A and B are shown apart, each in its own frame.
Chain A
């Protein structure tokens, strides 16, 4: 298991990260040297035009991918040098994902979807059940625990995904366009939930191309052509404007 956060150091540190894709013989540089630090309990929005490298950066931060060059340390651990199975364990214990398309298992009910990370952590069934029920209650779906995803609305599905992302007490909650498939009211509900999580100490990183959504965060990183174009911190909470 990865070490607990060193009290002083940053949560994550990316140093000169390059990610190159090869399409046949043509080289596509999705990230061309990104250096970035994010501390504990930050609320970060990653923005940029389509193709600027947002998803590539998210995948690297989420340990789904490894950089072509450069180093990535998560809680002081050199994850850029880890094997596939070690990365799987890091994802399991330290990362919580929320996807634009929810990505729930269609044949499993809410309870099973939410407890899944704990299955791969080897947590005994009884404890899994209890923690999953708590997480489901926390996102306000206690009465839907036995429903399948196709019996839920989009907003409810995304809340299930958030419960699943949180159940392992991750260091980072990573969300890629979490409101992209939701109407604006439901999207606002989901964002309120992220705000709340941030307020309770959770580090949240989200990718969006909508300014309203990015306004919830306290720091906005703009990408362009695989570079960081700007990195702006904001003191005032976005919700104060409403």
Chain B
């Protein structure tokens, strides 16, 4: 009961003190505002990153190995990989033959080409030559119409399956199945639309902007080995446990296909989710590192600023402290009063910081990756702000609480 009355009094008096010194408070909370905006942005970015990664992860598939000319993530020494020979559809066919019964093999080739329907054009689409086995090696499923069939590949049909976003942006509400779209300079008939998948991790594939066409059609119209386009061969193990052994086998088979002598370095790469995971961890590390650094510095500077104005505030109110003590305020009540004042000042900074972070989030969402400010993060940020305020107020509040009442009353 007593504590509650004191808390209410502390909040009330802090509030009127803050209102009386608005300008001063606003200025010193700048650091807090920046710090809170930074912590929220960091958390939001990390969340968004984790989500897009999860989407990519499930689309790629955990038990699928990808054989390609270059590794997905080139850590250094790009030039070493440049001289590697191209992988062609024939390589894929041979690998498929030798792994028959032990794995499912699916080749893909891709190219970025604009897609258009009537007067609408989408520049950022990725055309992917693939086969019916795409559905087995990835988690993708058609939402509308059908996917590619072996016959499409066999007859090199000019048919295509649109990614979710391609459909939305080219067709709007129109049913695209049976309609003709232009991919680059060639016309294709739409036979299906994929479910929404997401992705777009770090400029990695945005699955909803893909358009699938038969790989044979792709090779004829857009080129394959002959035009310097390399195939990526997806190899799906029959079970997760079989992945390590399969990787071994693939290396052996690929060495044969590539005619590598023993001891000669491999001129192809085998990618797995782990590769992506490493990249993900690196980026996450950078985001968190920079975010926490900015947050830490800003909150520290902000905290020091708040400590400073709290010292001024305590000094200006020495006489008030004397009066309160004469009337029965204990050290605890004076301490509480100034701690709460510091907390409220920083809470104000926190609210402003959330507004700033919200704007930044909108910007990230529009440019980098899908992002939204979650209420939980906002609440955590406010708690952090309040805690910083209380910590920043500790030293000044303690000085105020320890004031000798007689001297405080005599203070002019």
Contact = CB atoms under 8 A, between A and B. Distances in A.
Interface of A: 59, 62, 64-65, 84-85, 88-89, 91-93, 97, 99, 103-105, 107-108, 116-117, 119-125, 164, 168
A112 to B, nearest CB: 8
B75 interface: no
Where chain B touches its partner, the secondary structure class is helix
Interface residues of B, number: 29
Nearest to B9: A119
B169 interface: no
Nearest to B319: A103
A120 B332 contact: no
A118 to B, nearest CB: 8
Nearest to A62: B326
Contacts of A123: 5
Given A91-B328, A97-B327, A116-B9, 12 more contacts: A88-B331, A91-B325, A97-B326, A103-B323, A105-B323, A107-B13, A116-B324, A117-B327, A120-B327, A121-B2, A122-B1, A124-B5
A103 B5 contact: no
Contacts of B5: 119-120, 122-125
A107 B17 contact: yes
26 contacts: A59-B406, A64-B405, A64-B409, A85-B330, A85-B331, A88-B325, A88-B331, A89-B330, A91-B325, A92-B328, A93-B328, A97-B326, A105-B323, A107-B13, A108-B16, A116-B324, A119-B6, A120-B327, A121-B2, A121-B328, A122-B5, A122-B6, A123-B5, A125-B5, A125-B8, A168-B328
A88 B324 CA distance: 10
A124 B3 CA distance: 11
Nearest to B334: A88
Contacts of A91: 325-328
B255 to A, nearest CB: 83
B73 interface: no
Given A105-B320, A107-B20, A120 B326 contact: no
Contacts of B288: none
A99 to B, nearest CB: 7
Contacts of A124: 1, 5
B44 interface: no
B327 A116 contact: yes
A92 B329 CA distance: 8
A217 B43 CA distance: 71
A61 to B, nearest CB: 13
Contacts of B333: 120
A108 B1 CA distance: 23
A34 to B, nearest CB: 17
Nearest to B322: A103
B326 A103 contact: yes
Chain A CB within 10 Å, residue with most, of B6, B320, B325, B326: B326
A62 B330 CA distance: 15
Given A85-B330, A88-B329, A107-B17, A120 B6 contact: yes
